[in-house]
């Protein structure tokens, strides 16, 4: 194929694009989930910090301490970078310049992975350290959605960084 000609999208690149879709869905659903932490009764979202009063739970905004703001900022920034990576990947397929944007997409994805993992490690450490919940609590499916997004992002980053021509010439 001559320089400047539009090529056919390769199977590994299409698989990488396909793994960005669930990564974006999980990254968007993780901060919105109502069950981030589950104490003895009920569940706590990322947006609220609750403590047990004598008669009921008392919930306030979670944006009171610096680590909660940083965690939320890291998660939302990772979701925004995942969205930008998806847009750049779709633009490369629609414009026919498949390998032109692979490095940009891979850098965006790897940055999103680092931010997502930092938030997922920071949150339970600081939550357990500063929690007013002195009762039993566990991290629920809302926290797991963040790890699911990170796993899909790592897979997409690996697929975008592979030398596509070396692995896919056998298909054509």
**Residue ranges of domains in the chain:** 11-171
Give residue 39's Cα distance to chain centre: 25
Q: What is the distance between the alpha carbons of residues 115 and 74, in angstroms, rounded to a whole number?
A: 6
Tokens at residue 96, please?
Answer: 């026919």
Using CA atoms of 155, 158, 164, 168 in order, give the dihedral in degrees to the nearest 10.
-40
Is residue 33 a contact partner of residue 139, using CB atoms and an 8 Å limit?
A: no
Per-residue pLDDT tens for 21-45?
Answer: 999 999 988 888 776 666 665 556 6
Q: How would residue 74 be classed by pLDDT, with cut points 50, 70 and 90? A: very high
Tokens at residue 43, please?
Answer: 């569940």
Per-residue pLDDT tens for 87-146?
Answer: 998 888 887 766 667 888 889 999 999 999 999 898 888 877 766 555 666 777 778 888
**Which of 121, 143, 149 has its CA nearest to residue 27?**
149
Question: What is the model's pTM?
Answer: 0.78
The answer regarding whether domain 11-171 maps to CATH 1.20.140.150 reads yes
- Which residue did the predictor score with more confidence, 171 or 70? 70
Average pLDDT, the chain: 78
Q: What is the distance between the alpha carbons of residues 105 and 124, in angstroms, rounded to a whole number?
A: 29
């Amino acid at each position: 194929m001559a320089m400047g000609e539009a090529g056919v999208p390769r199977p590994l690149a299409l698989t990488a694009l396909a793994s960005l879709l669930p990564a974006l869905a999980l990254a968007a659903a993780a901060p919105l989930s109502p069950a981030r932490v589950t104490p003895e009764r009920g569940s706590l979202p990322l947006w609220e910090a609750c403590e047990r009063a004598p008669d009921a739970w008392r919930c306030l905004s979670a944006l009171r301490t610096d680590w909660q703001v940083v965690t939320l900022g890291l998660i939302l920034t990772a979701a925004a970078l995942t969205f930008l990576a998806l847009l750049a990947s779709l633009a490369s397929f629609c414009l026919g310049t498949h390998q032109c944007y692979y490095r940009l997409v891979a850098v965006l994805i790897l940055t999103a992975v680092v931010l997502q993992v930092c938030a997922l490690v920071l949150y339970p450490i600081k939550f357990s350290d500063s929690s007013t919940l002195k009762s039993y609590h566990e991290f629920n499916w809302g926290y797991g959605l963040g790890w699911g997004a990170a796993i899909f992002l790592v897979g997409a980053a690996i697929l975008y960084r592979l030398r596509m021509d070396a692995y896919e010439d056998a298909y054509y």
